[in-house]
Amino acid sequence: MDFLKLIFINIRRHRLRSLITAAGIGFGAASMLCIVSIVLGAVGMFQNILSTESQFILFERNVSDLFFSSVRASQLEEIRNFPLVKRVDPLLVGIVSSPNHPIITCFGVEADNPRLRQAHWLHGSAAAFGREKDAIYLGERAASFLKATIGQEIPIGSRRFLVGGVLRTANGFEDGGVFFPLRLAQEFFHKESQASLATVELRPGASFAAFRKQVDARFPDLIALEDKEFNRSYSQFRILNVTSWAIGICSFLLGGMGVANTMLMSVFARVREIAVLRVCGFSRQQVAGLVLGEAAILSGLGSLVGCAAGFAALVAMNAAPQLQGYVRAALRMDLLVGVAVVTLATAIAGAFYPAYFASRIAPAEALRFE
Amino acid sequence: MNTEEPRLGSVPAAGEKPSSVIVARDVWKSFDHGRTPVIQGVNLEIGRGEMVALWGSSGSGKSTLLHLLSGLDRPDRGEITILGLDPSREETRLRLCRRHVGFVFQLHNLIPDLTMLENLRIPCFSERRPAREVDARARYLAEKVGLSHRLTSRIQNLSGGERQRTAICRALMNRPEVIFADEPTGSLDERTADVVFNLLLRLVSEEGASVILATHDQRFTKGCHRSLHIHQGKALPL
């Protein structure tokens, strides 16, 4: 007698219930995959914006969000003259809206910023950046959803700007955003002689600790963090991580309760059958194994369907112009394994009590049960 | 056609075989926290190969006594041994169920989604015996009850009598020394009941097993070596 067959007969016997349970688990897995992918993708993209070729990110101390950070041009100029420093790239970040597009991210950068050099220019060139008056440069996706091309005048916020070029970057945020020459951005956002932050590249062999010490001593209102350190400590990333974990735990609890309910119903429906198996020499562990096995198979099925559905949803979101490339539909093996493991753990945790209950069924009592 | 009966199972316990397969001493059982006494001070010994009928009206406690004697239930007071072993311990009860005792119930209690052969394999599952041996034993018993052509049929496609005959085969799969039969013909019409009952007695007799039969039908007590009338919680000779 095949143990697996005994598990499968109960799944087959209640096809609709099994299907609904697997669908519920799949929905949870798909939600988790989407949420975590979006959060990781967003964090990854934001990290890329900040750390082109640099080792340090410099910004105002004790700000909760980089949009509120302010680094003065005079401070940056002084830091450029530190002997340890090779280059400093200021970045002014702002958000505006335009008709039909409530959020457009704007990046104010200097003409020699490495990200402009590294981008693939579809129209115009990095060399022409900032040469034309009131010209802005669109990310490929932004150009697509704003339906704009080079030479056109388009409304951004309260003003109209000339499109000086269209560029493709590897970053969803940048691709869905607008690049301004730094001075134009400062004027537009009323932040004259300011940047939100700056990325700093040190000279080869320069001591990171010495640079940090120098910044701390000279500018107590600024903080210089290494890229990795920044990714760990930046409060927005922490909030996103905690939120995704919280949602994950809620899904875990809800999924576990769903599985517990289904498996308990399944056990109640076959009390007599379990009693007969016990009479035929099945141990408590074997009976529990039947219930846990059923839950594991349903969760496996749910995981497969959920991961496929979640990936399809990510691809659909990726293609939606409204999302401006904020979502990156990348199938990461560690994420898939993580979702599968969490789903299995949810199912096993949810089936634990029903399995325990089934294993404690007293044959004599159950055989009296009509 | 396989008429060669394969030898399965082993002699129960190490050492000397007890002459009585079941011994019950001053057994008491009640339900509802003692408010409903069902079995009151039963003493009983059943010998090897003996067939004993527990006869009584519905609700007299014969099924409860059968469950107690088989180790499926525990007495409130008193002692029961099966083949000299104490069935109140889970490991002992499992050992007994896997090797030494078989059960037939009023409702066949087979798994309807499985075939007859698959149902017959269930009692052998935990002992992990070679599949060939198990299937040979199943074929042998199926032939004995005239169902060798139904081995691959699903239970849901068998008639009531065929199902009960399958349940008898399942009880005998491990060559048990004791068969507990709780109203094994209770769900069958009179003619089929007679056929199934005679088949049970013949097979059990051929296997040399003891039988404890709970029945409300006095006709069936005549085929047994001894009958006990279960009345007001006592087991009285009939």
DSSP symbols for A157-196:
TTEEEEEEEEEE-S-HHHHTSEEEEHHHHHHHTT-TTEES
Q: What residues make up the domain containing A14?
A: 3-45+237-368
Domain assignment present for A53 = no
Domain assignment present for A133 = yes
Is the Cβ–Cβ distance between B9 and B97 less than 8 Å? no
Condensed to tens digits (0 to 9), the pLDDT of residues B129-162 reads: 899 999 999 999 999 888 999 999 999 999 988 9
| Pair (A208, A84) in one structural domain | yes
- Pairwise CA distance, residues B229 & B237, whole Å: 6
- Interface residues of A toward B, Cβ cutoff 8 Å, are 1, 3, 5-6, 9, 12-13, 272-273, 276-284, 286, 362-365, 367-368
- CA triple A165-A171-A177, angle to 5 deg: 45
| Pair (A80, A215) in one structural domain | yes
Domain assignment present for A116 = yes
Predicted confidence at residue B4, as pLDDT, reads 40
Predicted confidence at residue A323, as pLDDT, reads 63
pLDDT band with cut points at 50, 70 and 90 for residue A286 = very high
ipTM: 0.86
Predicted confidence at residue A189, as pLDDT, reads 93
Q: Of A220, A254, A274, at which residue does a domain stop?
A: A220
Answer yes or no: is pLDDT of A252 > 80.
no
CB pair distance less than 8 Å for B105 and A367: yes
- Pairwise CA distance, residues B160 & B189, whole Å: 9
The whole-chain average pLDDT of chain A stands at 86
Mean pLDDT of A227-252: 76
Q: Are strands A194-195 and A159-168 parallel, antiparallel or unpaired?
A: unpaired
Predicted confidence at residue A343, as pLDDT, reads 87
Predicted confidence at residue A60, as pLDDT, reads 92
Mutate to test the interface with B, among A9, A12, A276, A368 (most CBs of B within 10 A): A276
Predicted confidence at residue A366, as pLDDT, reads 86
- Tell which phi-psi region holds residue B232, choosing left (phi > 0), alpha (psi between -120 and 50) or beta: left
In order of their start, the domains of chain B are: 49-61+96-237 (3.40.50.300)
| Pair (A41, A160) in one structural domain | no
Answer yes or no: is pLDDT of A1 > 60.
no
Mean pLDDT of B12-25: 68
Is the Cβ–Cβ distance between A202 and A86 less than 8 Å? yes
- Pairwise CA distance, residues B158 & B168, whole Å: 14
How many angstroms separate the Cα of A68 from the Cα of each of A63, A79, A306, A342?
7, 21, 39, 37
Q: Could you tell me the pTM of the whole model?
A: 0.73
CA B116 to chain CA centroid, Å, is: 18
Is the Cβ–Cβ distance between A65 and A239 less than 8 Å? no
Q: Of A220, A250, A266, at which residue does a domain stop?
A: A220
Domain assignment present for A125 = yes
Distance from CA of B173 to the nearest CA of A (A): 10
Percent of chain A with pLDDT over 90: 42
Q: Among the listed ranges A241-245, A323-327, A361-365, B203-207, which one has the minimum average pLDDT value?
A: A323-327
Distance from CA of A256 to the nearest CA of B (A): 28
How many residues does the structure list for chain B? 238
> How many CB atoms lie under 10 A from the CB of residue B191?
9
Domain assignment present for A139 = yes
Predicted confidence at residue A87, as pLDDT, reads 93
- How many domains, in total, are found in chain A? 2
A238 CB contacts (<8 Å, ≥6 apart)?
none
Q: Of A190, A220, A250, at which residue does a domain stop?
A: A220
pLDDT band with cut points at 50, 70 and 90 for residue A329 = low
Mean pLDDT of A4-20: 88
Answer yes or no: is pLDDT of B237 > 90.
no
| Pair (A66, A213) in one structural domain | yes
Condensed to tens digits (0 to 9), the pLDDT of residues A303-312 reads: 999 989 988 8
